[in-house]
Each structure stands twice: as structure tokens, then as C-alpha cells.
Chain A
Amino acid sequence: MNAESRKASTAQSVRFINVGKSYGNVRAVSDVNIAIEPGQFVTLLGPSGCGKSTTLNMIAGLEMPTEGQILIGDRDVTTVKPADRDIAMVFQSYALYPHLTLYENIAFPMRARRRRTPEPEVDNKVRNAARMLGLEAMLSRFPREISGGQRQRVALGRAMVRTPTVYLLDEPLSNLDQQLRVQMRSELKDLHQRLGATMLYVTHDQSEAMTLSDLIVVMSAGRIEQVGTPRQLYDRPANLFVARFLGEPGMNILDGERAADRLVGAGFSLPLPTTIAASEKRLSVGLRPEDIEYDPSGDAPIKGTVRTVEFLGSRSLVRIDVGDALVSAFLPATVELVAGQAVGLRPADTNKTRFFDTQLGLAVEETVQ
């Protein structure tokens, strides 16, 4: 058995069962239920203060849940100390030990009393990790003497040498500049594939979540909004929060009322799918900016006035006032529009149009038939 398959074999499942966390009267996390398969890359995604880091800290044992259970594999670790959970964590600040060299930093977990490793093996593992991460030449340096990207790699190295059951990564790329972030993102993806490890990643950056994850858990105000693959979340948001949160810009939402077989609102009139119950009176329609087309005909289903045009090369991002809503649409750059101009629009693909109950904020059906 080679080193990498050994690592893969240590990957464990993680399950949250009705987990909640309160600080006094403040409810930080409620009713979290997640099932993560061994070897999956799962991202907790959400805006600041949504409870994603608290959730991660509960798996790490740095925070104790006030209710529910957390299982790693078949083992209930809800009240187990961090040191006994056999997990590794990469912190947003990297948390490298400033008084230790990079070598000592990476070797640190293997020198802990409870998992003391023979020094020749420590040396072997440190050098292997350093080779994999391109840090071989700088092992005698101190953290203050290396760049942000290198620090991030050292933090990863420190996690890798442990062959833990689960890797926890708390916004590890957020302190890097854009270029390095993109590079490290792909390195992280590559590392996950090579290690075959269960990884739980926290971020508020949806592009990181989309590109890295097998599964995304979208959180808001301490609750899970939706769990799914990046494609499921993007194409079929379960509610208005996910619809607006995912995508750059997010999904356009237009509120209207049923009028026979159509949804009619200020500046638009769209056909309603037959699968939506007739009892649904107040509905919102969701359209992705790239699923909107320019409609020069006089009877366009969506009509508005151009507010701004951002030229992006092959296409433009056009912001259009439709009733009280501001609609974003990616239109071909060949469509020349100017601010203040009246414009007609239509859904490019009615299969991608989503409908939501305006009051409950929940999707009312999968797709238009």
C-alpha cells in the first residue's frame, strides 16, 4: 500500500445531527444536519456571521455544540477534545508557530505526546510534504521570512503529515492576493484529488466554493439554506436567499401575481408553467443574468429602461430598471445600448426560469415543463 492510498483509507464520513450552538441568548447555529461522505470536498458557504466558522469549529472541538451530535465515522465526537479527534485544521491566519522553523512547524503535530512519531519517520514525512508543496529549499526558515502563499503551504503541510480523518480549512485563501488565490485554489483541488481526503472548507467566496466543492452547504443566519452540488445550487436554488446569493451577479428576482396562466408584475408578463398549483397567487420569478436575451420586438415579455452598461469585451453587463426591480443581464456586446434607452428582454431558456413563493421565499417547482 503506498502512502497516498494509505492516506485515502483514513478519510472518514462526518455527520451533523440536529446540531445547534447558542451563546447565552444568542443563537449562532440551529438545526444543522449534514452528511458528508468519506473523501468528499464540502464547502460551508455563506455571508459573514452566518455560522459557518462556528460550525467548523464545532467539528474541530474548539466550540462545543449546545445540542445535537457530531459523528466522525461511527464515532460520536460531540464532547471529545480537539487533540483526540484526529482532525487537521488550516486556519485563516495560518496559525504558524512563529518561534519554530518551517521544518519544526510541519513536524509539530508528530511530536505531540499522544501521537509521538519516531524521528526518522518525522523527517521522512516532513520532507515528503515539503516536496509535494514546493517548500524543500526553505525548511530552515522562520514563518516571518516567507511569503503569504508559502505560509499557506506550510499550514497545509502541517495538516498533511498527520494523515487525519478529516481536513478542516477555514478561509485559508482569504489573505492571499487574487492571482495567488486562483493558483492556490487549483493546488488545493489537486491536493484533494491526490490525498483522497475528506475536506471541509469554509468560505464566503462563492467562486472558491463552486470550483472546489463536491458539495456546498449554503448557510445564512445560523441555518442551512440548501445543500447540493455546485450545479444543483446554481441551477435549482431552493429559495430566494440561495438564488440571490449565488452567481455574480445573483439571480434576478421579479415579484408578480398570477393572472390566469401568466405571472404579471411591473414591467413584465411571463407564462407560468402548468405544474404550479393554482392556489399560488403571489409568485416571484428568478432569471440568471446569462439566461436573459435582448428582444427587439415590440411585444417583449420584459420591458425596462437601461440604467448602466458595463462593457466586458465579448459581452456587456447591462443593468435595467424593470418596474421597481433592477435586472442584470449579460447581453452580447454587439447589442449596443445606452443609459435611458427603453429595452425589451425575454428568458433565453424557459427551462432555466425558476419560480418562488414570494411570501415563503421557497421554490415552488423544479423547472418549467
Chain B
Amino acid sequence: MKTGTRIWLVLGCLLAALVALGPIVWAFSTSLKPTNRIFQVPPELIPSVSTLEHYARLISEGVHWAFFNSGLYAVMAVAVALTLGTLAGYALARYPIPGKQLVLVLFVGAMAVPGFAVLLPTQLLFVDMGLYNTYVALPLLYAGHILPFAVWVTRSHFSTIPRELEQAAQIDGYSRLEAVWKVVLPGAKPALLAAATFGFLHSWNDYVTATTMVDTPSLRTLPVALIFFQGFHGRDWGALMAGVIIATIPPVVMFLLFRKYLIGGFADGSVKG
């Protein structure tokens, strides 16, 4: 690569990084400033006086429970969607199911339907079923949102795993289920992690479904809880930014842990099968 091209490329990357990371860095800086210094002129990126009062405020307001709820809902949704999605993905990849292509098209179609379009009917349905405003409501819905993607990704990945691996395991003394567990699933780790991360982020970041399906403060998710810091009488920017920083931690940690698999997993899911 020529030096000129390389310089432009680096500058482009720096600009992208600034756009992506700038708000997060600023939010972190704001979360550590005392309230009376947040709007000081000139602004400080690194606060000369720092405080954890905003984080303490979040805890005193019970936001840590909302954090816990968000995590719990996301983990439950991912667990359900991945379990069902893996079974369906495997069946679609390995068994001669009649109308298999139609089933796959239906899954893709389900992904294309905007969640907002079915939000109100779903709410009415949940009220009728007694699921509205319960611990089950959000995990169930999030699992439903993630499921088509999980099926699609796992099915694509299973199709690329040679059948001989399972057959070899069966001859080596394992049942079919054991062969899938011991041989196929470890091989599908990138696809499963990709689907899990997508599902977790979707659930973790959701605001609209969470405000529609639960009402009780003890059931609220983190994005909903943080909205209450934008009160009638002005916003509590310090607490809001502290909340934003807390909210970004799990996705960032997840990405850092699994980035090796994520890139491969998404690529596999998108170009194969």
C-alpha cells in the first residue's frame, strides 16, 4: 500500500474512532464531574475535581436493580432463543424436512417485520394472557425477536460442518445427541457466540418494548430507569451520564471477550449456507 493511501486510511480511522468514542469519553468525563461543573466554560475533558456522587445517586435510586433486570432478561432471552434456535437450525441443516425452504423464508420474513408494528397487538395479547407486567414478559418477547436470527445463523453454520464429524463420533461410541453436543456445538461456537451477542445487545439496548410491556418499577430495565433522570424540572446530566457509562459496560466487555468469534461468526452466517 502506498504511503499516501495509508495516511488517508489512518486519518479516516481516527475520524471514525472520534465519532464513535467521542460521546462515550465525554459521557464518562461528565459522570465524574460535580453537578455545578458540568456546564462550566471552558469545558474540561479531564475533570480537575472528580466525584462518584452520580454513581452513588444511581444506587440510591435503585438503578442497580434495573441493571440486574436488564442483564437477567437478556440472559434469559438469549438462553431460550439459542436453545430453540440451535435445535431448529440443526434440524433444518440435517433433516429432510418437507417445505424446508419455506420455513427458512418465513424466518427471514419474521426478521423483516418491524417490532413496533406488532407491539400494540402483542401488548393486548400479553394482557389477556396475564403476562403483561411480569418477569416473563420481556425475556419471552426478546427471545422471539432473537430466534429467527439464531435459527438462520446456526443453520448456516451447521450446514458447513461436515456430516462425517457426527458420524465419526457416533461410530466412536456416542449417541447422535452426544455427537452433536461433543462435536457439532463446539465447532459452531463462533455462530452461537455471534447469535448470543446479537441477542444480548438487542435485549440490553431495547427501550420501546420494555416501556410497553412492564410498568412496575421493580421490573424496569436500565434504559427505562435512566429515562426518569430526564425529569420535568430539567435533566440530571451527571446521573444520566453515569447510567450511560454503566449501560455500555456489558456490551463492551462482551465484544472484547468474543470479538475473535464475532467477526468469523457473522461472516460465516452471512456468506455460507
> Residues on A close to B: CB < 8 A?
60-62, 81-83, 85, 87-89, 91-93, 95, 97-99, 108-109, 112-115, 158, 162
Contact = CB atoms under 8 A, between A and B. Distances in A.
Interface stretch (B51-59, B108-116, B135-143, B172-180): B172-180
Contact of B162 (A61, A88, A95, A158): A95
Given A62-B167, A95-B167, A98-B187, A112 B172 contact: yes
B261 to A, nearest CB: 12
Contacts of A93: 162, 164
B172 A62 contact: no
Bin the interface of chain B by size.
10 to 19
B170 A99 contact: no
A118 to B, nearest CB: 15
Contact of A82 (B162, B170, B183, B186): B170
Interface in B165-195: 165, 167-175, 178, 183, 186-187, 189
Q: Is the interface of B mostly helix, strand, loop or mixed?
A: helix
A162 to B, nearest CB: 8
A96 B169 CA distance: 10
A93 B161 CA distance: 12
Contact of B170 (A83, A97, A98, A158): A83
Contacts of B165: 95, 97
B169 A108 contact: yes
Nearest to B162: A93
Contacts of A158: 168, 172
B178 to A, nearest CB: 7
Contacts of A95: 162, 164-165, 167-168
Contacts of B183: 97
List the 9 shortest-distance A-B pairs measured between CB atoms, nearest first: A112-B173, A109-B172, A95-B168, A95-B164, A82-B170, A99-B186, A91-B164, A82-B171, A89-B171
Chain B CB count within 10 A is highest, among A88, A89, A92, A112, for: A112
Contacts of A108: 169, 172
Interface in B184-217: 186-187, 189
A112 B172 CA distance: 7
B272 to A, nearest CB: 16
Contact of B178 (A87, A91, A113): A113
A158 B172 CA distance: 9
A172 to B, nearest CB: 12
Contacts of B169: 97, 108
Contacts of B168: 89, 91, 95, 97, 158
Contacts of B167: 60, 62, 82, 89, 91, 95
21 contacts: A60-B167, A62-B170, A81-B175, A82-B171, A83-B173, A87-B171, A91-B164, A91-B167, A92-B164, A93-B164, A95-B167, A97-B165, A97-B187, A99-B187, A108-B169, A108-B172, A112-B172, A112-B173, A113-B174, A113-B178, A158-B172
